Amino acid sequence: MQSYLFHQSPSPPVAVVTGAGVGIGLSICKELVQNGVKVVLNDLDEEICHRAAEKVNQLASKSCLAWPGDAADPGFVEGLVKVAVSHFGSLNMAIPNAGITLFGPFLDYPAEDLESVLRLNVQGSFFLAQSASRQMVKQGGGGAILFMSSVTGHQAHENLAAYGMSKAALEMLAKTLVVELSPHKIRVNAIAPGATLTERTSAEEGYEDTWSRITPMGSPAKPEDIANTAVFLVSDRASHITGQCVVIDGGWTSTSPSPY
Q: What is the pLDDT averaged over residues 1-12?
A: 73
pLDDT higher than threshold 60 for residue 165: yes
**pLDDT one-digit tens code per residue, 93-127:** 999 999 999 999 999 999 999 999 999 999 999 99
Residue 256, pLDDT score? 87
pLDDT higher than threshold 60 for residue 58: yes
pLDDT higher than threshold 80 for residue 1: no
Strands lying side by side in the sheet with 64-66: 64-66, 38-41, 14-17, 93-95, 143-148, 186-193, 245-248
Amino acid in the structure at residue 217 = M
pLDDT higher than threshold 90 for residue 42: yes
The DSSP string of 76-122 is HHHHHHHHHHHHHS---EEE----------GGG--HHHHHHHIIIII
Instruction: Write out the H or E segment, with its range, that includes residue 247.
Output: strand 245-248
Question: Which of 22-26, 56-60, 205-209 has the least mean pLDDT?
Answer: 205-209
**Band of the pLDDT at 79, cuts 50, 70, 90?**
very high
CATH no., domain 14-255:
3.40.50.720
**Band of the pLDDT at 254, cuts 50, 70, 90?**
very high
How many angstroms separate the CA atoms of 191 and 231, rounded?
A: 11
pLDDT higher than threshold 70 for residue 3: no
Between 178 and 3, the more confident residue is: 178
pLDDT higher than threshold 90 for residue 7: no
User: What would you report as the CA-atom Rg of the chain, rounded to the nearest whole angstrom?
Assistant: 17
Using an 8 Å Cβ cutoff, are 142 and 132 in contact? no
Amino acid in the structure at residue 25 = G
Active site residues: 150, 163, 167
**Band of the pLDDT at 6, cuts 50, 70, 90?**
confident
Cis, peptide link before residue 74, omega less than 30° from 0: no
How many angstroms separate the CA atoms of 68 and 248, rounded?
A: 28
Residue 205, pLDDT score? 87
Q: Write down the pTM of the prediction.
A: 0.95
pLDDT higher than threshold 70 for residue 213: yes
Using an 8 Å Cβ cutoff, are 174 and 147 in contact? yes
